[in-house]
Structure 1
């Protein structure tokens, strides 16, 4: 045991820590073999998870040498859990940090790809000799024809298998994935690995091949990890889900934590209705956290959170007992809207110490309307961070790729990850040909700022990590294109970003501008095929648009729940279309959902 406390003493400490929150404590003390935890944003998910792990360790539920396996979708989330575990467990167990570190072998915390890399490093040589050196292999996205052509030196027809397979993963096409599995793995082994590269999807697929060819290894890991905890479960794609189903046995203790309403990565393969699928497959018990701590001091925000979730639960006829009155500004045109946003920012900053007021402007997509707001911000000399890059943007992807390649070269020269070595790596990246040739681009300037913050955090917040863990954290961040997850820690007090880029982050105040048709929701998202956009955007939900509506509602909900204190919405009677032509606009249908009352404070 990690502590001299009796289980009852630990239970009392946990009850006090969680202020006797009934549902959180039910999760922590539950002995269910298969458990789903529905955890909306701000309901204490991470705190509950850490205490669950602490209680399992303290009550000797994990016998040496076995471990708890904790997996998550994003790199940032995985390492945040590691950080919270390292900080909170010693306090909860009243043991010295060094003593805890000595026993933290009872835990393995990673994202899916990090977990698979760990196994390939040990056993990958059974599939291909090159996998002995997986840490030095260069990773690439299977969908990029330019990369595939450069790496394989083959024609389109010969590397089309990679492109088609990646599309099948994004489309959750299980039939295609299973049918072409052996072909894909063979092509990776014969045409990619010898060139010192590994496709991103192959990191998981090679593990599935390893388990298929060597069932004894699979059985080892099933026994080695008798407890499997998955955070952000709603974002799991078909490859990760296949992996989970392999390592989970009838005897496994399984805890899936997530929120169906925060599933906003469907466009890159997050499986629809996965929580329900898992519930049925494993006959899982469900516990839903019920107290919103993020908005506990703001009744209107609490009501807004509740009503948005009710709209998702019953699309046709949500049971709303009370409207949420939101702060909304409707201006005559885009310029006036921009000026109003400046006023909001100045008022917020005047009412707080400058360095204690963090504000985010969150939009659905980059476009002409947000460009107008950026121009007015500049004219008013309001410093802001530009975070309007997308996951598919060439410069965003290319920057991470350059960082990854240079980091691999850097590792050949250093044996420690320190402030000095990371500073040298930062200089190397800034002096690279790609950066020099494109130094005027806003996206790359912003990414260099995020890189600096990330390296600083490695040597401060995450200094407790071992040398190997730091290497994995840095490499995984580059390979997963995850530098955007550091936006929350920038010095700038005003951040302008997309809602997708802000997932998992928080700010004191959030402003969601351009709440008009074709902006939020966007033309591609919902407006394109809507029959009601000329009828004041009062959408009617039917079987044809239900799926799209839920996707847009999820993005809207994630935007709302990035605010710690308050959210402001704005719109204008005109919008600027993609041709830079001013057109009349309707207020977004998302602001007309049942349970939302507009407080139009023009």
Structure 2
């Protein structure tokens, strides 16, 4: 791939100045980031033991950057550390957590355990004393909303009626988990910030180690991630590091998890960043995909002729029948199933698709099954077994042996030879070699357990290994992926895209009554996954 002029400008931007780059999907974001790292290394801007620090929002982005760096600069890892925000916080606390009373040998708590804790708290303290919440799910949902607004988005939000109840749950959970040497993913960030704020020695170590900071997907960062970024980017005297950051507010679809795309504006102001935008799509292979993505970014962009396929049906059954017909047609034309992805805005849509695919003998893989929450639920026996072995401080010979025994005990036949379990087996062996070999087995097992939650990008792993199956995914789950053919299902009025996006339809409804920006961003991210063709379905 040769650089386009906008990429050249971004890659060779003056080293001493901070830059924020708007990087639309398919415009070569990862390519430019790696080329920038290569440019800084070859220019001699980094002298070991100093390093560049490149922070990402997801494991997928970090893994892709590492892979490309190894190809472009085989010795590059001597000059740069690439990781997501949580991994950075984890490594910081593993080394220096004892400075603020955190055991170095903490275990990361998975999301299902957090849900279990909240449910137990409801049963113990809420159900008998309050008639406001008749169901655990209602209580937990309201608590999560409160927590996201107050701590992840960093707002001044106060739930006047329930503030004390929710704060008691939060304090109780934090204290109990830390006493049991457990931290959840948010704890990692909060405690890393506490460490850097309370210990000048540790903070100076990192300020000196990383003279230049790079980051991507900044629209997906939340309040505490940006706060951590500032802690390692600005010293106690207010001196700011040079930063090189990428993001795109048009791809801000993680607000429901507490993401705050306004962090981009805060970054530009706090670090005196110049602003630049990449301007050529290197992914889309068809003119009509280029047109629709341009139109979604810029409503004034004129499209002379609409060329997108939209199938409208009276029933879901008719819609599914048409999807099958098109897939079979593509197969006859030599298209592999793994080059097709069906996207939908809501997870429950997949149930109908799966039934029809099974009936028609079409193989599929559901990407959402490979999110960590789904994994810990599907393989709860294995996860619980690992946690028990850690708590009991097991003394068996190796991590691999423990994992093999747990899998053999809990699974049989084909169910113990899935891609996921095979990967876990192989990954466990690496914790019996090298510097791990001198560490007690339970500590190695704990490190392994923490790493399978933080380090492995399961979705990309599946994408690399699964062939001849149609991919199913929510639009949120497809972020960072690309496919030749995208089928977008469930394009229903008032859901996605919202009716107010279609100006001829908006006469009967006041657009100001509904916040539609995130629905529009979600639609845009889904469309931009396509390389050759996108087809819309409605029933």
Q: TM-score, normalised by structure 2?
A: 0.79
The 5-angstrom pairing of residues 64-79 of structure 1 reads 64-79=48-63
Indicate the residue corresponding to 1:122 in structure 2.
95
Q: For the residues of structure 2 that align with 1:292 and 1:332, how far apart are their CA atoms? A: 36
In 1, are the aligned partners of 2:226 and 2:263 still within 8 Å (CA)? no
Cα 1:544/1:449, change in 2 over 3 Å: farther
Report SS of the residue matched to 1:510. strand
Contact 1:70-1:110 within 8 A present in 2 as well: yes
Cα distance between partner residues in 1 of 2:461 and 2:233: 33
Change in CA separation of 1:474 and 1:559 when aligned onto 2, cut-off 3 Å:
farther
Alignment of 1:124-163 (within 5 A): 124-128=97-101, 131-134=103-106, 137-141=107-111, 144-147=114-117, 155=125
Q: Are residues 220 and 34 of structure 1, via their aligned partners in 2, closer, same or farther at CA, if it must alter by over 3 Å?
A: same
Cα distance change, pair 560–140 in 1 and its aligned pair in 2 (3 A): same
Name the structure 2 match of 1:30.
13
1:361 to 336, 342, 352: 342
Residue 310 (structure 2) pairs with residue 310 (structure 1): no
Which whole-Å CA distance do the structure 1 matches of 2:296 and 2:7 have between them? 22
| SS across alignment from 1:212 | helix
Q: Equivalent of 2:522, from 555, 560, 568?
A: 555
Q: Matched residues in 2 for 1:471 and 1:345: separation?
A: 44
2:253 corresponding residue in structure 1? 264
Matched residue, 2:133: none
3-state SS in 2 of match to 1:205: helix
2:73 aligned counterpart, secondary structure = helix
Structure 2 residue ranges without an equivalent (≥5): 130-138, 437-443
- The answer to whether the Cα contact below 8 Å between 1:505 and 1:562 also exists between their aligned partners in 2 is yes
Contact 1:185-1:205 at 8 Å conserved across structures: no
- The match for 1:11 is none
Offset, 1:518 = 5.3
Aligned to 1:488: 463
- Residues 520 and 186 from structure 1, CA distance in 2 versus in 1: closer, same or farther, beyond 3 angstroms? closer
Contact 2:294 2:301 in 1 (8 A): no
Judge conservation of contact 1:24–1:289 (CA < 8 Å) in 2.
Answer: yes
Give per-residue Cα distances to partners, 1:38-72, cap 9 Å, x unaligned: 11111111111111111111111012211111111
Tell me how far apart the structure 2 counterparts of residues 466 and 520 of structure 1 sit (CA, whole Å): 51
2:219–2:252 CA contact under 8 A, matched in 1? yes
Q: Distance in 2 between matches of 1:89 and 1:175?
A: 47
Q: CA-to-partner distance for each residue in 1:213-241, whole Å, 9 max, x for gaps?
A: 21232132122211111111111011101
Task: Give deviations 1:97-130, integer Å, cap 9, x for gaps.
Answer: xxx1xx62321111111101111111111112x5
How far 1:473 moved relative to its partner? Answer: 8.4
> Which of 198, 201, 204 pairs up with 1:213?
198
Paired with 1:480 and 1:402, the residues of 2 have a C-alpha distance of 21
What's the counterpart of residue 208 of structure 2? 223
Indicate how the Cα distance of structure 1 residues 28 and 503 shifts in structure 2: closer, same or farther if over 3 A, else same. same
CA separation in 1, counterparts of 2:509 and 2:123? 51
SS at match of 1:283: coil
| Partner secondary structure for residue 71 of structure 1 | strand
**Alignment partners' CA distance in 1, 2:189 and 2:77:** 25
What do the CA deviations read for 1:369-427 (whole angstroms, capped 9, x no partner)?
Answer: 6544333322221111234559797x55534776555556489678988xxx39x7367
> What CA deviation, in whole Å up to 9, does each residue of 1:137-173 have, x standing for no partner?
242449945225769998569x999965455234542
Q: Contact between 2:110 and 2:376, CA under 8 Å: does it hold in 1? A: no
Q: How has the CA–CA distance of structure 1 residues 185 and 500 changed in structure 2, closer, same or farther, with 3 Å as cutoff?
A: closer
Structure 1 match to 2:537: 570
> What is the 5 A alignment of 1:107-506?
107-128=80-101, 131-134=103-106, 137-141=107-111, 144-147=114-117, 155=125, 165=147, 168-173=150-155, 190-249=175-234, 250-295=239-284, 297-311=285-299, 318-320=300-302, 322-352=304-334, 354=336, 358-367=339-348, 370-387=350-367, 398-399=377-378, 406-407=385-386, 409=389, 421=400, 425=403, 428-429=406-407, 431-432=409-410, 449=418, 451-452=420-421, 454-455=423-424, 475-478=450-453, 483-489=458-464, 490-506=466-482
SS at 1:385's partner residue?
strand
Q: 1:44 to 1:276 in 2, by over 3 A?
A: same
**Structure 1 residues 551 and 531: CA distance shift in structure 2, 3 A:** closer
The answer (yes or no) to whether the contact 1:67–1:106 under 8 Å persists in 2 is yes
Match of 1:517 in 2: 493
How big is each residue's C-alpha offset from its partner over 1:182-235, in whole Å with a ceiling of 9 and x where there is no partner?
A: 999986775322313113211111111112221232132122211111111111
TM-score (structure 1 length as normaliser): 0.72
Root mean square deviation, CA, Å: 4.3
> Tell me, what secondary structure is at the counterpart of 2:94?
helix
Counterpart among 45, 56, 78 of residue 29 in structure 2: 45
In structure 2, the CA distance between the partners of 1:404 and 1:372, relative to structure 1 (3 Å rule), is closer
Q: Which residue of 2 aligns with 1:588?
A: none
Residues 226 and 251, structure 1, Cα contact 8 Å, conserved in 2: no
**Number of residue pairs aligned between Structure 1 and Structure 2:** 504
1: CA distance, partners of 2:532 / 2:71: 26
